Amino acid sequence: MTTPIDTTGPAAGEQPEAASTPAPAKQIEGRSPGRIAWSRLKRDKVALAGGAVVVLLVLAALLAPVLTSLFGHPVDQFHPDQINPEIGLPKHPFGGISKDFLLGVDPTFGRDVFSRILYGAQVSLLVALGAAALSVCIGVVMGVMAGYFGGWVDAVISRVMDVLLAFPQLLFSIALVSVMPNAAFGFSDKWFRVAILAVVIGFFGWPYIGRIVRGQALSMREREYVDAARSLGAGRAHILFRELLPNLVAPILVYATLIIPTNILNEAALSFLGAGVRPPNPSWGQMLSEATHIFKHDPTYMVVPGLAIFITVLAFNLFGDGLRDALDPKGN
């Protein structure tokens, strides 16, 4: 009887194939919310461009004395030789723009517009940032208290918000700044006015963020982690500052970046109406006000500060929109 031959095994002299080793499983790397937001923000080129412009504007304002000494002239130095005395306009076209005056000269005294734009940026950014900081501090505290405690506390704070939102902020600001002294508390005229503008704009701006924080706190106070902290004996202060506030960082940051351009516009409007810093201290709104008398003959002096306001507000808005999308927990 013939024995059947096994043809399935390895041939003579042939080594058996080694068992294939499975590839190691790819480890899952945990990422913090900050890293997730940063990875989203990096993909938003428009927001990054806006953030870069914001950084450049802040650096330009901080380095205004250095940039003025390198590329411009002292902010209050008169240059009557640049003005045509017969018509009261700069001798050179386009507002007197030349290699010595990069952005031209003002039509009244021939002062360097480049240096005045830089020093005007200091005023606008300081007022906007100071007002935003004050609005955020008051709005967060009031909003969290109204949302968490509820009841009569919520009712009182909400009615105060309604009154401030209906109050004529512009008229009150003009009236207040008009009766304030030129200097006080050791501040010079310029910085005292900057502080007053920041306080007034910030005080009337906190109800907006207060309503946002109140709505978030109303929903968060019923979450499981708040109930767990309460069941473990945590006090109200612990729940407010250790449980609720850390989860409100994202909306607070987003609103802060979006309220800054609004504050810049408010400061420019007050300066335009004569309620901002006083001449000869430069301000973008004040420069626009001065340009209303000559813009028909030479619009350059109006275009330059107008572009400065437009670029600054646009950069902050683009960065704020990108930051809002990056911090959205439902985003991709």
How confident is the model at residue 1, as a pLDDT? 47
Which of 199, 329, 331, 328 shows the shortest CA–CA distance to 263? 199
Alpha carbon 191 to chain centroid, angstroms = 21
Q: Where are the alpha helices (DSSP H) in 185-248?
A: 189-220, 224-231, 236-238
User: What does pTM read for this prediction?
Assistant: 0.83
Which of 271, 157, 241, 155 shows the shortest CA–CA distance to 206? 157
User: Could you tell me the two tokens for 312?
Assistant: 């600054």
pLDDT along the chain (332 residues), means of 10: 52 52 56 73 87 94 92 87 81 84 87 92 93 92 88 90 86 79 68 87 89 86 79 79 81 86 91 84 90 83 92 92 77 56
Helices 189-220 and 169-179: crossing angle in degrees, nearest 10, is 150
- Cα distance between residue 162 and residue 211, in whole Å: 10
Which of 274, 261, 240 shows the shortest CA–CA distance to 308? 261
